[in-house]
Amino acid sequence: MIRRISTSHNLNVTEETLQSPGDAIRTAIILAAGTGVRLKERGKLTPKGCMCLGEKTIVEESVLRLLAVGIDRIVIVTGHLAEQYEPLQDRYHQTVQLVHNSHFADSGSMYSLYCARDCVDEAFLLLESDIVYERRALITCLEHPSDNVLLLAGLSKTSDECFVETRDGCLVAIGKSRESLGAEVPGEMVGICKISRSLYSVMLEAAEQCFRTTRHVDYETDCLVAVAGTVSIACPSVEDLVWCEIDDETHLIRARNEIYPVVQVDDNQQINLSKFKTIGFFEERDLIIRHIHDFFESVNAHRIRACIMFGTLLGKLRHNDFIPWDDDVDIVVFDFDAFLAQCAPELEQQGYAVEPDVRDGKRMGCRIFREDSAMVPGKPRLRFPWIGIWEHEVNEDGLIVLPPDDVRYKPEDFLPLGQVDLLGIPVGVPHNPTEILNTYFGSDDWMEVCQLPYRDHRKGGKLTGFPDDKFNLQTVLNYLAAEQLPSLREVTKNDIE
């Protein structure tokens, strides 16, 4: 069956765009009423969306992907074995709303979409419940400049494709036979769309005309194609998209063995990438910069040797800034007693507390923070943010250690100290900062890879419990930039020099 656009529909279409380009789509509709007849006995027992390829159902994993891209309201239209979707509404009660298609056994997908008409009054994403897909499928739709989008993927050659014919990148026809379509067939339909409020209104009008004779009306061939002559529907194609739909046992086997393992890796990576957003100075950024300024103004005036270290040094070399997910400042003071005698009183006069860092009865250094800063849970004396001051020791072998760490550094890599500009502040740095970081990390890949923070200093240094996997640095920076965190520039090797 092929449906082509018709320009003769009398549907009162207007070209007025009801959604401004800056409006973010926050709603999705998932069609989940189908009976799954091609899955035979399996389909009789479980709706396709409630089948599991991993620990969660297919539709719950889709809900989580939608939440990850900013969708906060999800309408699921149920039908066959509707009660199996109810736990999902209980689990995501502030997000998921169930709508029942009581005619699911004798209706098509457009009737299910019609059942949701009273639940949406804005643009939305439309998805089918039986698809497994990468998160970028959603991002492609959301970020596309057109108000109306039918997402395509490269040809899968699964013998069950819905081919899409386009003209100048916009929908013309959908069909099962590639040969019966025109020359411009850039891909096959995935089952994910972006629908504007105006397009939905026109689709409802077209559907109501069809419902006079039958409820067996599909949203794609009977409505999208039917109105595409008067409403432009863009058809972007993601050639290498990893995805599949599950209509029969062959599809299910392919989904479990080939598609889901790839999608699961993508989902897990996105979950872990999102953790990079949870730690940082955030609104206290200006305050910690002031801390650093006041500290180095004092030690520089008294000619006391001090240099940035650990994540703070890494931030300077790699980002020329703080690491975006760092939330403490580390400084080594080589003349610690002189610092306590000459600089600590000056800092205290400026409103800072200089609190000794004593562990197992041994002095490790101190913490510097403003008394009027944010309190830290479980640490009544401590305030956030703070500077951690490290006191060095020289071992019998002549190597420098920074207790309680046992990493040993060559003295000539630390001393004599150099000086660089960090956020407009002249700060001390080790004589050979690259070798210092190579020694600390035990490798030299710190310009290309990164790890999640293992402590949350806003909570007093509590362990985050994040995995210790290594991530490609540029992947993380690109993710944070896409999530619209403060501007992060591209990292280059020149930052070391």
Asked whether residue 1 carries a pLDDT value surpassing 90, the answer given is no
The 10s digit of each residue's pLDDT in 74-86 is 999 999 999 999 9
Identify the band that residue 336 occupies on the pLDDT scale cut at 50, 70 and 90: very high
Identify the band that residue 491 occupies on the pLDDT scale cut at 50, 70 and 90: very low
Provide the pLDDT for residue 8: 37
Provide the pLDDT for residue 484: 58
The 10s digit of each residue's pLDDT in 145-160 is 999 999 999 988 887 8
Structural domains in the chain plus CATH codes = 2-275 (3.90.550.10), 282-496 (3.30.460)
Contacts of 439 (CB under 8 A, 6+ apart): 407, 408, 409, 410, 413
Q: What is the mean pLDDT of residues 91-96?
A: 91
Q: What is the mean pLDDT of residues 472-492?
A: 65
Q: Of 264-268, 280-284, 492-496, which range is least confident?
A: 492-496
Identify the band that residue 23 occupies on the pLDDT scale cut at 50, 70 and 90: low
Q: What is the mean pLDDT of residues 36-55?
A: 95
* CB burial of residue 74 (10 Å; 0-12, 13-18, 19+): buried
Provide the pLDDT for residue 385: 97
Provide the pLDDT for residue 124: 98
Provide the pLDDT for residue 28: 98
d(CA 482, CA 479) in angstroms, rounded, equals 5
Identify the band that residue 480 occupies on the pLDDT scale cut at 50, 70 and 90: confident
Give the DSSP letter string of 441-482. Answer: HTSS-TTTEEE--SEEGGGTSEE------EEEHHHHHHHHHH
Give the pairing of strands 131-133 and 243-245.
antiparallel
The 10s digit of each residue's pLDDT in 386-439 is 999 999 999 999 999 999 999 999 999 999 999 999 999 999 999 999 999 999
Identify the band that residue 3 occupies on the pLDDT scale cut at 50, 70 and 90: very low
The whole-chain average pLDDT of the chain stands at 91
Asked whether residue 492 carries a pLDDT value surpassing 50, the answer given is no
Q: What is the mean pLDDT of residues 46-51?
A: 97
* 52: its two tokens: 């599991």
Asked whether residue 108 carries a pLDDT value surpassing 60, the answer given is yes
- Of the candidates 196, 192, 124, 194, which has an alpha carbon nearest to the alpha carbon of residue 153? 192
Burial letters 426-444, b for 16+ CB under 10 A, else e: ebbbbbbbbbbbebbeeee
Give the pairing of strands 374-376 and 379-384.
antiparallel
d(CA 450, CA 470) in angstroms, rounded, equals 6
Identify the band that residue 488 occupies on the pLDDT scale cut at 50, 70 and 90: very low
Residue in the block written with tokens 């020694």 = 439
Q: What is the mean pLDDT of residues 96-100?
A: 97
- Of the candidates 147, 229, 134, which has an alpha carbon nearest to the alpha carbon of residue 190? 134
Provide the pLDDT for residue 270: 80
Asked whether residue 68 carries a pLDDT value surpassing 90, the answer given is no
CB 185 within 8 A of CB 165: yes
Identify the band that residue 14 occupies on the pLDDT scale cut at 50, 70 and 90: very low
The 10s digit of each residue's pLDDT in 182-233 is 999 999 999 999 999 999 999 999 999 999 999 999 999 999 999 999 999 9
Identify the band that residue 70 occupies on the pLDDT scale cut at 50, 70 and 90: confident
d(CA 26, CA 72) in angstroms, rounded, equals 6
* CB burial of residue 213 (10 Å; 0-12, 13-18, 19+): exposed
The 10s digit of each residue's pLDDT in 352-375 is 999 999 988 889 999 999 999 999
Q: Of 278-287, 433-442, 455-464, 467-476, which range is least confident?
A: 467-476
Give the DSSP letter string of 307-331. Answer: EE-HHHHHHHHHHSS--TT---EEE
Provide the pLDDT for residue 86: 97
Higher-confidence position of 469 and 255: 255
Asked whether residue 472 carries a pLDDT value surpassing 60, the answer given is yes
